[in-house]
Structure 1
Amino acid sequence: MKIHAPALKGKGVFFRTKGYHLLKVRHSQISQVYSLTAVTNQRKPILRDVHLGHLVIDQLRRQDQAGHTHSLAWVVIPVHIHWLFELQARSLGVVMCPLKSRSSLSLNHTTHSHGHVWQKGYHQRAVRQDEDLKTIARYIIFNPVRAGLARRVGEYPLWDAAWR
């Protein structure tokens, strides 16, 4: 959706209502549970390789070990990751920047490539207190089944949940 700026009418200048600039005003709160999705650059299915998926999982676990997050559920599928976690310290941006940059370095090093691995930004949603975390976790870990990557959750190797 584009909004034409009236003061610049006729000059071909548009302001986008959604986009990267919205990330700068993103608010995050310690002890809040978030459902987050990060997508690979141009939706390339680089994470279909289980070994490469584990490199991303290592970075998710690193955030937990550093005390920044407490992961409740996650799944890594070929073109994106879904992650349900409680923010323990810092901000979403401070958690996501090293996650994406370190996983990019690992993935590029392993595949002998270079360039962007992730799309800019990420989609996050603060989970309301009245929402059932297990229901959200089930939705997340069933993504590979819905995508046709597995017949059952247990067949897919790149997921975990606190309620296993």
Structure 2
Amino acid sequence: MADLPASHRLRIGRLSEPNRVCLITTNTHERIRPFSDFHLGRLVVWQFRLAQYQGLVNSLAWVIMPDHFHWIFELKKGSLADLMCQVKSKSTRTVNGASGRNGRLWQESFHDRALRKEDDLIKMARYVVANPLRAGLVERIGDYPLWDAIWL
């Protein structure tokens, strides 16, 4: 890590703290739209659930859009970078295998935002799960199949 800029090292350390609540957004490579297929989107959901089952996160809310996802979780153990590497690599293998495609599925990077406990997490979760509505994919949030939040 000695070759990373100091601001980058601080950001990694801050977000990798146990019990830190994070909002992650990541896009597909070249904004391809594989998750227009509900079944392929469910393969990403499986990776979110696997990370929770393994005790890495406590998932709070998520939405899988046709070409990206938003995920709010509390990091329980491990690093954010390792978690995202695991989710992206495993979902790439399963999505590519199920769809007969090959190559990259995700952009290399992801956008992260640390959320304070006192932030209105329910408000942020509502914003996240309302993405399909704002994108014009559905007329009601409940009509979109690839989202969840613990508060509902």
Give TM-score scaled by structure 2 length: 0.91
For residue 162 of structure 1, report the CA deviation from its aligned partner.
0.3
For residue 129 of structure 1, report the CA deviation from its aligned partner.
2.8
Choose which of 33, 49, 62 in structure 1 pairs with 2:50. Answer: 62
Aligned equivalents of 1:109, 1:32: Cα separation in 2: 33
Q: Percent identity?
A: 42
1:161 aligned partner, one-letter code: A
Aligned equivalents of 2:8, 2:123: Cα separation in 1: 30
Choose which of 61, 66, 78 in structure 2 pairs with 1:90. Answer: 78
5+ long unaligned stretches in structure 2: none
Aligned equivalents of 1:57, 1:40: Cα separation in 2: 15
Aligned equivalents of 2:83, 2:25: Cα separation in 1: 13
Q: Which has the larger radius of gyration?
A: 1
Residue aligning to 1:9: none
Matched, 1:105 2:93: yes
- The CA deviation string for residues 81-134 of structure 1, in whole angstroms up to 9 with x for no partner, is 000000000110111111000000001101111100000010000002331100
Choose which of 111, 121, 134 in structure 1 pairs with 2:109. Answer: 121
Residue aligning to 1:151: 139
Residue aligning to 1:14: none
Q: Secondary structure at the match of 1:93?
A: helix
Aligned equivalents of 1:43, 1:134: Cα separation in 2: 28
Q: How does 1:1-164 map to 2 (within 5 A)?
A: 25=9, 26-27=12-13, 28-164=16-152
Q: Secondary structure at the match of 1:58?
A: helix
Aligned equivalents of 2:116, 2:76: Cα separation in 1: 17
- Kindly report the root-mean-square deviation, in angstroms, between the aligned alpha carbons of the 2 structures: 1.5
- The CA deviation string for residues 44-100 of structure 1, in whole angstroms up to 9 with x for no partner, is 111110000000000011000000000000000101000000000011011111100
5+ long unaligned stretches in structure 1: 1-20
Aligned equivalents of 2:70, 2:37: Cα separation in 1: 17
Aligned equivalents of 2:53, 2:32: Cα separation in 1: 29
For residue 24 of structure 1, report the CA deviation from its aligned partner.
6.6
Give TM-score scaled by structure 1 length: 0.84
Cα gap change, 1:163 to 1:57, in 2 (>3 Å): same
1:70 aligned partner, one-letter code: N
